[in-house]
């Protein structure tokens, strides 16, 4: 019997990679396919905590720069898809198939999770995960008990602590500081719980933590160039982001989407801030909320994996 595969070819930030891994693990089981995940080398040890049976393959040099940042203009899409399929076949898939693999054996899907359907193709390549609303709904339909998540059974924090991801997309924008200076006291008053600040920027956590008497942890960070911001940005290292996600799983996590909804009167004054006026959803928030909402329901089962 020929083994059939689903291959995730797009590697992004660690939060989005974990979301994609959880959903594709579920789909691979439904379609009776083996899951293969192409990703950054630094992400592999973390992803193995989620699904140790998946096959992880590190990106070769030049993969991300040549293909992940490609502007998929409609007139070039067909050419791009053929070029990308050929690259993936010769670079990764021929070694996996161990037999004569033709382009016709490969189905290439670019888009959202809902675009994935089973087929007669031996290999389904999945590139991207664009519809975050549908992705979030699908994620919440998957029970956390179906995942291993090593280390998830232990934390020094409890659900009596409120955790928030302090979003600062521009540390030099004083308006963002003014926003959180209004929001944090409101959260403390409404929830009457200690607040734990989560962020990839240690300076931000320390500033707001000391000012508003909130909990925070100083963690290792890295400086990466952001195409979206057209400049360098400070963010947490992948393993530190994963540790923050485990912390959020044990606490009462509030995503920014809920803050945007509950405190419209405050946020209306800050419509000049990009992440306030837009509909962008932080992938970390999506995953942290999912883990926080589902973890306590399955904690006993997770303890069995210790």
- Asked which of 17-31, 99-113, 198-212 is least confident by mean pLDDT, the reply is 99-113
Q: Could you tell me which residue, 115 or 40, shows the higher pLDDT?
A: 40
The predicted structure's pLDDT at residue 1: 47
Residue 181 has pLDDT above 80, yes or no: yes
Residue 68: closest CA among 15, 11, 123, 18:
11
Q: Quickly tell me which residue has 């994609």 as its tokens.
A: 20
pLDDT digits (tens, 9 = 90+) for 101-150: 888 888 888 888 888 989 999 999 998 877 788 889 999 898 875 666 66
Looking at residue 96, what is its pLDDT? 80
What pLDDT does residue 75 have?
45
Mean pLDDT of 39-68: 90
Q: Please state, in angstroms and rounded to a whole number, the distance separating the CA atoms of residues 41 and 202.
A: 25
Q: Which domains does the chain have, with CATH numbers?
A: 5-142 (3.40.50), 162-303 (no CATH)
Q: Would you call 109 helix, strand, or coil by DSSP?
A: strand
Residue 213 pLDDT class (50, 70, 90 cuts)? very high
Q: Lowest mean pLDDT of 21-25, 191-195, 300-304, name the range.
A: 300-304
Length of the chain: 306
Flag whether pLDDT at 223 surpasses 80: no
How many angstroms separate the CA atoms of 266 and 164, rounded? Answer: 17
Q: Is 202 exposed, middle or buried (0-12, 13-18, 19+ CB in 10 A)?
A: middle
């Amino acid at each position: 019997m020929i083994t059939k595969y689903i291959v995730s070819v797009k590697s992004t930030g660690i939060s989005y990679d974990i979301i994609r891994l959880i959903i594709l693990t579920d789909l691979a089981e439904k379609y009776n396919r083996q899951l293969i995940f192409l990703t950054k080398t630094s992400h592999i040890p973390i992803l193995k905590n989620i699904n140790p049976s998946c096959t992880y393959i590190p990106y070769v040099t030049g993969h991300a720069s040549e293909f992940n940042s490609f502007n998929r203009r409609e007139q070039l899409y067909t050419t791009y898809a053929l070029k990308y399929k050929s690259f993936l076949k010769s670079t990764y898939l021929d070694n996996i198939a161990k037999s004569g693999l033709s382009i016709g054996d490969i189905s290439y899907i670019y888009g959202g999770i809902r675009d994935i359907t089973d087929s007669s193709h031996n290999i389904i390549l999945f590139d991207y995960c664009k519809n975050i609303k549908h992705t979030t709904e699908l994620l919440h339909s998957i029970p956390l008990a179906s995942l291993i998540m090593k280390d998830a059974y232990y934390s020094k924090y409890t659900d009596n602590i409120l955790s928030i991801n302090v979003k600062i997309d521009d540390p030099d924008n004083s308006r963002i500081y003014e926003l959180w200076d209004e929001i944090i006291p409101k959260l403390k008053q409404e929830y009457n719980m200690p607040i734990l600040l989560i962020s990839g920027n240690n300076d931000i956590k320390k500033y707001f933590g000391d000012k508003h008497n909130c909990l925070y942890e100083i963690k290792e960070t890295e400086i990466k160039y952001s195409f979206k911001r057209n400049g360098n940005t400070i963010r947490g290292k992948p393993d530190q982001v994963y540790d923050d996600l485990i912390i959020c799983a044990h606490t009462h996590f509030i995503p920014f989407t809920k803050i945007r909804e509950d405190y419209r009167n405050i946020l209306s004054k800050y419509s000049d801030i990009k992440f306030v006026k837009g509909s962008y959803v932080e992938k970390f928030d999506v995953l942290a909320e999912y883990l926080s909402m589902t973890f306590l329901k399955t904690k006993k089962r997770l303890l069995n994996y210790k």
